[in-house]
Amino acid sequence: MRILLVDDEAELAEPLSRLLQREGYVVDVAITGNEGSRLARQGGYDLLILDWMLPQVSGLDICRQTRSQGDVTPVLFLTAKDTVDDRVAGLDAGADDYLVKPFELRELLARVRALLRRPPTLDPPTPPDRLQFEDLALEERNQLAYRQGQSIELSEKETQLLAYLLRHPNQVLTHDRLYQAIWGDTDKPSSNVLAAQMRLLRRKIEPKGTLSLIHTVYGKGYRLGE
């Protein structure tokens, strides 16, 4: 059985990893949200153990990313967050169990065994109304983007523009293609409107200190991703 443990507290992650290995599990450890997200996307794990508060990408977002891809791998949260609202948020994100720090190691092992005993789901759930690329997510219906655990309110056009980019990652999308997709034939605006909308969108989803995801391809259009 393979377990992915994502926790930035070395004083917890290291002994916990050794304990799980002594129980016969193969354990991969990540100490940042980005690394945990990358490993989780690769798949092949029987259980994900996620700390809620992580550098870069939160455990909550890793769980959401996993579920948005239709992955039904069991998820156990380890967190100091212990309010009812926190538990509800974790379970709504797709977590299967929740253990508040500090905890007894015997209880942790019991919960791990219980989750690994569950039969696999034959039909993965339908992915929610959520688009994802790296640490950026979008809920179209709610006009909300998420980056590094922060929610970002978008206008209708910003939502449509970001949704189109997220559906076509790592592609050069020409100005004409974007105009057609967002405004159509009957509502085509002046030539500088697309650039203005893109500036507003980038200002919201690429705050200072974050990696730029939307790139200008000069003379052609825009690209989401490298």
Indicate the pTM of the whole model: 0.54
Which secondary structure element, helix H or strand E, spans residue 114, and what is its range? helix 105-117
User: Which is more confident, 80 or 28?
Assistant: 28
pLDDT at 214 over 90: yes
pLDDT at 127 over 70: no
The pLDDT tens digits for 39-89 are: 988 888 999 999 888 878 888 888 888 887 778 889 998 887 766 676 677
pLDDT at 109 over 70: yes
Rounded Cα distance between 165 and 217, Å, is: 14
CATH of 131-224, one of 3.40.220.10, 2.60.40.10, 1.20.1250.20, 1.10.10.10: 1.10.10.10
Closest CA to 145 of 124, 127, 164, 130: 130
Domain ranges of the chain: 2-117, 131-224
Note the CATH number of domain 2-117: 3.40.50.2300
62: alpha, beta or left, given left = phi > 0 and alpha = psi -120 to 50? alpha
Q: What's the chain's average pLDDT? A: 84
The pLDDT tens digits for 134-165 are: 888 888 888 889 887 688 899 999 999 999 99
pLDDT of residue 187: 63
Read off the amino acid at residue 225: G
Cα 31-134-225 angle, rounded to 5 deg: 135
Q: How confident is the model at residue 186 (pLDDT cuts 50, 70, 90)?
A: low
pLDDT at 181 over 50: yes
Rounded Cα distance between 113 and 66, Å, is: 21
Length of the chain equals: 226
Segment 27-49 mean pLDDT = 89
**Cβ count near 191 (within 10 Å):** 9
Q: How confident is the model at residue 172 (pLDDT cuts 50, 70, 90)?
A: very high
Rounded Cα distance between 55 and 149, Å, is: 10
pLDDT of residue 192: 84
